[in-house]
Structure 1
Amino acid sequence: MKFPKPILFLLPVAVVAGYFLMNRKPPGVVVIHPITRTVAETVAASG
């Protein structure tokens, strides 16, 4: 079976989302969201 690209991209996102849902720590989400955004922007800029 071949996995479409979006599934491979969303898999780590689902893992992180599940991690935060399990821990219920909104401050952690607030802290990590800008970090994720910065990484995404850096990858987009370098790509």
Structure 2
Amino acid sequence: MCDWRLVVDAGGTDLCRVDPGFGTDILITVDLRAMASVWKGATRFTDEI
């Protein structure tokens, strides 16, 4: 299993393998298939829950 960080701010969105040093606002545990499906817009988070 690997951890990824999704960093979202006014400048855009970035996906990081290394902790960028910011605090965590929300923690989501999900399998790769579900995350890829939501990321591509094929499903919504509520569909995957």
Higher strand share: 2
**Relative contact order (alpha carbons < 8 A, sep ≥ 6): 1 or 2 greater?**
2
Higher helix share: 1
Q: State the TM-score, normalizing by the size of structure 1.
A: 0.27
Q: Which structure would you say has the larger Rg?
A: 1
Q: State the TM-score, normalizing by the size of structure 2.
A: 0.26
